[in-house]
Amino acid sequence: MSAKIPATVVTGFLGAGKTTLIRHMLENAKGKRIALIINEFGDLGVDGDILKGCGIETCTEEDVVELSNGCICCTVADDFIPTMEMLLGRDNPPDHIVIETSGLALPQPLVRAFNWPGISTKVTVDSVVTVVDGKAVSAGQFAHNVAAVDAQRKLDDNLDHETPLAELFEDQIACADMIVVNKTDLLAEGEADHLRAVLKAEARKGVQVVTSTMGALPVSVLLGQRIGAENDLDARHEVHHHHHDHDDDHHHDDHDHEHSHGHDEFESFVVELGEIEDANAFAEKVADVIRAHDILRLKGFAAIQGKPMRLTLQAVGPRVDTYFDRPFGTAPRLTRLVVIGQAGLKHAEIDAALRA
Ligand SMILES: Nc1nc2c(ncn2[C@@H]2O[C@H](COP(=O)(O)OP(=O)(O)OP(=O)(O)O)[C@@H](O)[C@H]2O)c(=O)[nH]1
């Protein structure tokens, strides 16, 4: 029997920098054949598009596979397992598989899928890498659980006032073998080190915490950790067990868990517009709309008048990044944006504001 193919699971909250980190890794993979599986939230396949269009020689389009929408735990049998079997059954199977999870997914159900018959003999989870938005965390977005919560939680095991965001974050940390504190370029001196220490205290024993800007980590640090995460799932159990109905004995399964604060609490929709007159003015408008409507993440492509290239828009909170990524070619010159937020977004108002 040949050795198992290693698979790295990249998780982390919306906009933390997962796609950026993977892109850097592909650019520096030095001939290692890496296949990518992407599980996105939203309808556009933006991440897949960014990675497919990366122009990296060793990364062909057939190496990037997108899973249909939805939480992995519900679609394991129909979607994830067949995708894995397809990759493993190729004449020229990949050296390594990298899976980018949706920023709103819990990694645990995905890791559990590696124990499926037919998969467990052929692949192993090399490690779970959790990417953290250093800027968001230090700005207090998840402060509740990160900063100094530890002591508090030990005193009160029934803390019941965390937001779904904080819980998701905590579960992503609990599953990590390596935590990447990203966006250190946006942090003040000393902040990154402080965050490292706090996260190290929060994480399981032995978990490495590293810092990065634009996910620029040596491939040798990211890949080849040989952890076998599927074999010690119990150690990675979700932190929060007390939010479940009918769950007095705390023995619910992850399926319930995911639904109680997984995708259900969030939603996404697509706004489609025609050509945009001015790129900068549009980016400012997008930032205003994000502020006014509490949008968590917005990304997509815009067609700008007189420009043959597509403008990629990426917003995490009100910070909007734009760059021209590639020519439209024969694709229709449209502007398409995925808007992601907690359930209850005002679709019509947001749509109208972006059109105004
Ligand atoms: N300043 C700064 N920006 C970064 C860094 N890493 C990523 N970004 C930007 O943050 C935005 C989100 O990055 P992505 O890599 O798309 O994040 P993601 O985790 O894949 O996002 P989702 O797939 O939507 O969950 C993009 O505009 C990136 O260019 C960093 O280290 N510093």
Residue to mutate (ligand 1; options 10, 11, 20, 323; most atoms within 8 A of CB)? 20
Whether residue 140 is predicted with pLDDT greater than 50 in this model: the reply is yes
Measured N-to-C along each axis, helices 164-174 and 254-261 cross at an angle, to the nearest 10 degrees, of: 140
Residue to mutate (ligand 1; options 266, 316, 322, 337; most atoms within 8 A of CB)? 316
Q: Is the CB of 183 under 6 A from ligand 1?
A: yes
Whether residue 346 is predicted with pLDDT greater than 60 in this model: the reply is yes
Looking at CATH, the fold of the domain delimited by 5-231 is given as Rossmann fold (3.40.50)
Whether residue 68 is predicted with pLDDT greater than 90 in this model: the reply is no
Compute the distance between CA of residue 21 and CA of residue 35 in angstroms, rounded to an integer: 15
Q: Return the minimum-mean-pLDDT range out of 81-85, 105-109, 124-128.
A: 105-109
Span 152-207, pLDDT tens digits: 444 444 444 455 677 778 888 999 999 999 999 999 989 999 999 989 988 998 89
Burial class (CB in 10 A: 0-12, 13-18, 19+), 280: exposed
| Mean pLDDT, the chain, integer | 81
Nearest atom in ligand 1 to the alpha carbon of residue 21 is 15
Compute the distance between CA of residue 1 and CA of residue 114 in angstroms, rounded to an integer: 18
Nearest atom in ligand 1 to the alpha carbon of residue 183 is 31
Residue to mutate (ligand 1; options 10, 11, 19; most atoms within 8 A of CB)? 19
Give the count of beta carbons closer than 10 Å to the beta carbon of residue 219. 17
CA–chain centroid gap for 155, Å, is: 32
Per-domain residue ranges for the chain? 5-231, 266-355
Mean pLDDT of 94-108: 87
Q: Atom 11, ligand 1: which residue's CA is nearest?
A: 15
Which of the listed CATH numbers 3.40.50.2020, 3.30.420.40, 3.30.1220.10, 1.10.15.40 matches domain 266-355? 3.30.1220.10
Instruction: Give the DSSP letter of residue 101.
Output: P
pTM comes to: 0.80
Compute the distance between CA of residue 100 and CA of residue 179 in angstroms, rounded to an integer: 15
